[in-house]
Structures are given as structure tokens and as C-alpha cells.
Amino acid sequence: MDIVSIIKALASKQGLSLKQLAIKLGIGENSIYRWNDKKPTIDKLQLVADFFGVSTDYLLGRTPTPTFTAKDEIDVQKAVTDLIQGLSNKDSLAFLKNNGEELDEEDAELLRSSLENVARQSLLLSKKRSQEKNNKK
């Protein structure tokens, strides 16, 4: 999805058109529409990200999770890879539960998707706890 489509979806959830959003942000009324052809400046991109409480990486389509950065995505993928490698071990519980046979492609993809979801949720919870600790200080 392109940047304008992502912003349009976020604005729509809040009942705003792109023109209304631009006015609220104090940028040109048609600025966001022009981002289809011309990339936004960093300060305007950050302004939109801050307004919606998402990362600039999310607006740029680099991560499917609104509050994740590209580094967070790398961390999630590494965690999933590590989990899958652990499950491939002949001594692991998952391997034994499958009667010692490898998973077929469909089951492997379902497992990978589930593990990715767990890794994302874990990182989100970790970030939330960290932020709560910082707020208490």
C-alpha cells in the first residue's frame, strides 16, 4: 500500500478526509494528495505520524504494525526464525507431536504466521511495559 492510501485509511477511521487532515495539521489542503507523485518532507511525515500515533515506518509501508519501526520488524523476523529453527530440532516437542515427520508447506506456513503473531504481540507488550515504567519515574 502506498503512503497516501495508508494515511487515507487512518484518516477515514477518524472520520476525516485528507483535506480536513491537512487543514488540522496546518499544511496545504492538497499536500497529502501530492504525495502520490512527490515524497513528503521528513517534518510533514513526522507530523502525520505523531497525529495518528504511528511510526513513520508504518506510513512508509515498511512495517504492518503501526507502532513498529523497521528495526522492530527485523527483531520480529529474527525471533520467528529462531523459534522455527528450535521447532525443527528432532528433540523438540513440536517435532515429536508430529510423529517425527516434517510439516507440510501449508502447516508450516500456518505455524510461521502464528509464531509471527506471537512475536509481534510479545514486542508490543514489552514496549508497553517499558513505557509504563518510564512514566512512573
pLDDT tens per residue, range 47-62: 999 999 898 888 988 8
**pTM score, whole prediction:** 0.59
Higher-scoring residue by pLDDT: 11, 135:
11
User: CA 44 → CA 22, 34, 106, distances in Å?
Assistant: 10, 12, 42
More confident residue, 79 or 96: 79
Per-residue confidence (pLDDT) for residue 110, from 0 to 100: 79
26 vs 124, residue with greater confidence:
26
Alpha-carbon distances, residue 55 vs 46, 50, 91, 111, 131 (angstroms): 8, 8, 40, 28, 16
What pLDDT sits at residue 27? 94
* Mean pLDDT score across all residues of the chain: 83
Residue 73 CB-density burial (10 A; 0-12 exposed, 13-18 middle, 19+ buried):
middle
**Per-residue confidence (pLDDT) for residue 96, from 0 to 100:** 43
